[in-house]
Amino acid sequence: MRFAVQVKELSKTYVQGFIKKKRKKALKSISLDVPEGTIYGILGPNGAGKTTLLSIIAGILLPDSGYVKVLGMDMCNSSKSREICKKINISSGHANFLWSMTVKENLIYYAMLYGMSKKEREHRVEELMDLFSITPYKDVKFEELSTGTKQRLSLAKAFLNDPSLILLDEPTVGLDPDVAMGIREIIKYFHEKKRITFIITTHNMDEAEILCDEVLFIFNGKIRAKGDPNSLKKGMKLGDKIYIEFQNENFIPTDFHINGLIEVNIYHNHATFVVDNYKLRLPELVNELMKTKLKIKKLEIEQADLEDVFINFAR
Ligand SMILES: Nc1ncnc2c1ncn2[C@@H]1O[C@H](COP(=O)(O)OP(=O)(O)OP(=O)(O)O)[C@@H](O)[C@H]1O
Ligand SMILES: [Mg+2]
């Protein structure tokens, strides 16, 4: 397997103040591998170290120890890091651009920094403004834009150099659900069409579940868990809940033999079955119930999600 990013035993301490030094260990021996062509999520509460980790991968910050390989090259080696920067890009949900310049001027400015010719940058900027639906704002100054438009501009900027790795720090923070959904669609589109690798930090577990192939939970600078969302849920025995209310109050047997059953809780006329995957197990469960004299009055399903995993770790 090829990796877009490999991080090994990475640590970072912030030091503040001159006389009375205040130290904050933001990352403590973090290791991770991001397979090429995946969408990788970095999840964790405020202050967990997500932005610090992303900034080190992007070459914006230097670690105290450990190494970072990006696209097979050592990010902490200054001559290699310059080469890497041409092939990656970063965008933040808390975007900050040159305030008095317009949307188009800002993008042209960044395109110039990437060394594009006049013709090339005109074409690329028009194309990206169109794709991110910001053409109507092309002559509006950055300071006058809404949060959503600022975020779309920041994303458009991240695609300027046709990168093979894009780092997104909370790309949908503070956005209306429909605008956030639009941004997720764009990420998916580029991921599928161009096989760009994305590393995304987010607080939004639904977003991680929709987008990410793999996720990493980080708490207080340390990794608590990593893997694909389904394995994480299974590992924590967080299954889908099938809630059934019965018409009659017959004896509800507890000795069900269905595959993937994690837990059964029975009350007088209703029961909750926790299974690994309700789509696979529901037909079997209904079959078993049909063998009894019980009649189903109501059936509800509640799928386990990453939010449950997060809450379990945060405890
Ligand atoms: N420049 C800095 N100087 C000192 N401490 C810092 C600095 N930047 C971050 N920190 C501290 O390091 C820790 C990790 O911060 P970081 O911004 O990486 O967290 P985060 O997971 O991105 O949080 P959030 O979800 O709020 O964006 C926090 O305790 C933060 O206060
Ligand atoms: Mg952050």
**DSSP track, 55-119:** HHHTTSS--SEEEEEETTEETTSHHHHHHHHTTEEEEESS----TTSBHHHHHHHHHHHTT--HH
The C-alpha atoms of residue 70 and residue 75 are separated, in whole angstroms, by 6
Regarding whether 145 and 294 lie in a shared domain, the answer is no
Regarding whether 82 and 13 lie in a shared domain, the answer is yes
Ligand in nearest proximity to the CA of 169: 2
Which pLDDT score, from 0 to 100, does residue 76 have? 83
For 196, the domain range is 3-87+163-227
Asked if residues 104 and 138 have their Cβ atoms less than 8 Å apart, the reply is: yes
Looking up residue 35, the CATH number of its domain turns out to be 3.40.50.300
Surrounding residues of ion ligand 2, Cβ less than 5 A: 50-51
93 lines ligand 1 (CB under 6 A): no
Of 257 and 178, more confident: 178
Question: Could you tell me the distance, in angstroms and rounded to a whole number, from the CA of residue 111 to the centre of ligand 1?
Answer: 30
Looking up residue 248, the CATH number of its domain turns out to be 3.30.70
Domain count, the chain: 3
Which pLDDT score, from 0 to 100, does residue 257 have? 79
- What digits encode the pLDDT tens for the residues 72-82? 999 888 788 88
Question: Does 233 fall in a domain?
Answer: no
Question: Could you tell me the distance, in angstroms and rounded to a whole number, from the CA of residue 102 to the centre of ligand 1?
Answer: 30
Regarding whether 60 and 209 lie in a shared domain, the answer is yes
Short-list 86, 68, 87, 89, CA closest to 77: 68
Asked if residues 11 and 33 have their Cβ atoms less than 8 Å apart, the reply is: no
Ligand 1, atom nearest to 221 Cα: 14
Asked if residues 184 and 210 have their Cβ atoms less than 8 Å apart, the reply is: yes
The 3-state secondary structure of 157-172, one letter per residue: HHCCCCCCEEEEECCC
Query: Is pLDDT above 80 for 293?
Result: no
Query: Is pLDDT above 80 for 109?
Result: yes
Regarding whether 167 and 153 lie in a shared domain, the answer is no
Q: For residue 132, what are its two tokens?
A: 């991110």
Question: Could you tell me the distance, in angstroms and rounded to a whole number, from the CA of residue 127 to the centre of ligand 2?
Answer: 30
Using pLDDT thresholds of 50, 70 and 90, give the confidence band for residue 89. Answer: very high
Regarding whether 67 and 195 lie in a shared domain, the answer is yes
- What digits encode the pLDDT tens for the residues 117-158? 999 999 999 999 998 899 999 999 999 999 889 999 999 999
163 lines ligand 1 (CB under 6 A): no
Lowest mean pLDDT among 93-97, 105-109, 153-157: 93-97
Indicate the residue among 206, 227, 248 that finishes a domain: 227
Q: What is the layout of strands, in order, in the sheet containing 65-70?
A: 22-35, 3-16, 65-70, 73-74
Indicate the residue among 202, 227, 252 that finishes a domain: 227
Regarding whether 80 and 11 lie in a shared domain, the answer is yes
- What digits encode the pLDDT tens for the residues 171-213? 988 888 888 898 899 899 989 988 899 999 998 888 888 899 9
Q: What is the layout of strands, in order, in the sheet containing 261-266?
A: 261-266, 270-275, 240-246, 296-302
Overall average pLDDT of the 162-175 stretch: 92
Indicate the residue among 139, 157, 175 that finishes a domain: 157
Question: Could you tell me the distance, in angstroms and rounded to a whole number, from the CA of residue 272 to the centre of ligand 2?
Answer: 38
